[in-house]
Structure 1
């Protein structure tokens, strides 16, 4: 695929996205210069998808584009604390089964709080309401 084709596809996608954004009812209309600037920025950073693979150019060819700056939302201490808690409770996936450690080996980890937060009286009141409104039969044979 030549560079000209890439630019043409990028222009089509950008104009399509800009048209949808304008149709969505954005308060401030986007000017032609703003769209051109957004397209130039997308081309410069590789944030366009040239084909049907769904991968952007900066994902296909990372050596051609500047690295994206990642902004950390959590501090190192917060991440370490979350990891320690996950290890303590077994909330970490292990192996190819997709099961967490506390699911594979429940006897090695403390019980998870899986109890209902409603009192017995609240449950009885909900049951009586369901029966009175006909959502549940009063005499269910067990």
Structure 2
């Protein structure tokens, strides 16, 4: 019984190790890669602090580590230009409790939104004919099934 349990344990461990390696897209890391990552984490403080908060060392003691690189912010002119465009198009929340944008409440006061080109009548008819042919249409009941699933003999195989 003990050998069977040990063999089973080894098989499970081997399978889980194989899955862990398969999930790493770059393959297993070399010892030098792991060491380099560890040294970088030590240098920047991206290591868990030895407490129960779950914070990193650079969060607990930020003055002991180099500051994190911050993405550049927008300039004042960029923000003002965005605000002016939002006012012009009505993409600003209304002041009431509806949660709608101004251009949704009063669409005639703002320029119309660009219209996405639609399908032609011929394209829609062609799609409908294809759906009828393949049974890719909902059944006329409340089952939620497609016709091809309810009557597989009437439609071509997928």
TM-score normalised according to structure 2 size: 0.46
Q: Which has the higher contact order (CA 8 A, sep 6+)?
A: 1
TM-score normalised according to structure 1 size: 0.50
